[in-house]
Amino acid sequence: MSKHDHQRRHESDGFTCIHCKLQVPGIAWGTKHRNHCPACLYSRHVDETPGDRANPCKAPMAPIALEVRGDDHNSSRTGLGTGEWAIIHRCTACHTLKTNRIAGDDSERALLALALRPLANPAFPLDGFR
């Protein structure tokens, strides 16, 4: 067994959220590699590639936005994709951006709050629009 294999957390193991301290189960519908808290959506910067747990950073990754993925062949013509949601995380230490698929037990309230954040706090003033 290599050092890397020994340090890797097994996917079925749970973990404690780095942000809200929730005990998170390791298995969730819709994902093979549990990588974020279903309550606050925070993650930890642990992967170089999905599931490898090889990144030495280990800092918290804040959820900053959502993306709706469109990877089917019609998405470029119709503007419609598969509709799969993913969370965009930014590392609080090195500012790396990563995306993670949502899991089946993620808080709908937290996901919607993240989706509505640009409307609640726009990047530009809305006073001049009529």
Q: Taking CA 62 as the corner, what is the angle to CA 116 and CA 55, rounded to the nearest 5 degrees?
A: 145
- What average pLDDT does the segment 48-62 reach? 89
Reported as a single tens digit per residue, the pLDDT across 59-85 is 999 999 999 887 655 545 555 556 889
Residue 129 lies in a domain: no
Q: What is the pLDDT of residue 59?
A: 96
Residue 31 lies in a domain: yes
Residue 111 lies in a domain: yes
Q: How far apart are the first and last CA of the chain?
A: 65
SS3 121: coil
Domain housing 20: 3-120
Q: Which two tokens stand for residue 1?
A: 């067994």
**Residue 48: pLDDT above 80?**
yes
Q: Which residue has the tokens 């925070």?
A: 42
**Residue 95: pLDDT above 70?**
yes
Q: CA 14, CA 70: separation in Å to the nearest integer? A: 30
Q: CA 21, CA 16: separation in Å to the nearest integer? A: 5
Q: What is the pLDDT of residue 6?
A: 39
Residue 91 lies in a domain: yes
How many structural domains is the chain composed of? 1
Burial level of 45, CB count in 10 A (0-12/13-18/19+)? buried
More confident residue, 28 or 25: 25
Residue 56 lies in a domain: yes
* Average pLDDT of the chain to the nearest whole number: 82
Choose among 105, 6, 8, 21: nearest CA to 51. Answer: 8
Residue 126 lies in a domain: no
- The DSSP H or E segment spanning 86 is strand 84-91
Q: What is the pLDDT of residue 11?
A: 55
pTM equals 0.77
Residue 14 lies in a domain: yes
